[in-house]
Amino acid sequence: MSWLPVAACTVGGCVRSPARTAGPVRRALRVLGALGVVAGGVSWSLVARRFDDRRRGEVTMRWARLLLRVLGIRLEVAQGFSVLGGSAASAAPVAPGAGTCGALLVANHVSWLDPLVVAAITPCRPLAKSDIARWPVLGSLVASGGAIFIDRERLSTLPGTVRDVAGALRAGHDVAVFPEGTTTCGRAMGPFRPAMFQAAIDAGAPVRPVRLRFRDEGSDPATGPAFVGDDTLPASLRRVIAARGLVVEVTMFPQVAYAPAAGVTRRSLAGIAHATVSGDAPRRHDVLVAA
């Protein structure tokens, strides 16, 4: 449909082979390890509803970290800097209820791995395409992790999804969204669609920009993990398993401070978040966590 965002990225035009590839034994071990972790996740999903939100979030975070590790992906988390600049940003009033609401985590979108990467950093509920709910095995895992599903082919369902996200934020859950609405290869970003920023305004919740960047020893960004154009999940997964030295950098920026009484709009929030995420890469000495 015409209102759906479409990126210009394609597999043939954007995806490049990694500088170094894993040998057949390492690839086989990664496949076996991933199958084991996924099987454990399925078992966990069967009993997850018996636990409270905090416990489910912690276990999901550990599971996501383990899956990234067995796939050969190193996770680095860095602290970024506000695009608004030092004291002016920190002095601005934050959204009402920001101390009790969850935060709307807004990130650029490169790969099917992105929700997994964000979940590995902090307990959160991802906003996921409704198609994923129908994926074998992975669909049930995503659902048990508290995903909120969005039907991108039915615009009429969007207000209801915004209400669901706002409700989750009011309940104290962080919600991870990818407001480009489509994936890119990582070399550039599309505009941030403003709809989900309305959920933060409605809930009086803070917005926290997050930048995701894959790299390997030969390129920055690494495009192997990308999931673009007519790509398929098995093809992207094979590229990830074959890569050696794959790293995903996650830059966590300060919360965007805003005062609803001053007339903040979802478009202005989207613009600030986009400008923050699309800025320069973090300096190496800002890395806080490596896993």
What three-state secondary structure class fits 125? strand
Count of domains observed in the chain? 1
Tell me whether residue 260 is in a domain: yes
pLDDT (average), residues 108-124 = 91
Residue 236 has pLDDT above 50, yes or no: yes
Q: Over the stretch 10-40, which tens digit does the pLDDT of each residue have?
A: 777 778 877 788 999 999 999 999 999 988 8
Is residue 57 in some structural domain?
Answer: yes
Check: CB of residue 93 under 8 Å from CB of residue 37.
no
Half-sphere exposure of 84 (CA within 13 A, CB side): 19
Whether this prediction's pTM lies above 0.95 is answered by: no
Read off the tokens for 201: 């305004």
Quick: pLDDT tens for 53-85.
777 778 888 889 999 999 999 999 988 765 544
**CATH assignment of the domain containing 200:** 3.40.1130
Q: Answer yes or no: is 161 within a domain.
A: yes
Residue 273 and residue 83: Cα distance in Å, rounded?
Answer: 8
Q: Where are the beta strands (DSSP E) in the chain?
A: 73-79, 104-107, 125-129, 148-150, 175-177, 207-215, 246-252, 287-290
Whether the upstream peptide bond of residue 221 has omega within 30° of 0, thus cis, is: yes
pLDDT at site 227 = 85
Sheet holding 73-79, edge to edge: 148-150, 125-129, 175-177, 104-107, 207-215, 246-252, 73-79, 287-290
Position 174 in a domain: yes
Residues shown for the chain: 291
Say what the pLDDT of residue 238 is: 92
pLDDT for residue 220 is more than 60: yes
Whether 97 has a pLDDT exceeding 80, the answer reads no
User: How far is the C-alpha of 240 from the C-alpha of 111, rounded, in Å?
Assistant: 10
Does 141 reside within a domain?
A: yes
Q: CA 20, CA 216: separation in Å to the nearest integer?
A: 8
pLDDT digits (tens, 9 = 90+) for 277-286: 988 434 433 3
Is residue 150, in this structure, part of any structural domain at all? yes
Residue 94 in any domain: the answer is: no
Domain that holds residue 116: 20-84+101-278
> Do the domain assignments include residue 288?
no
Cα gap 196→203, rounded to integer Å: 11
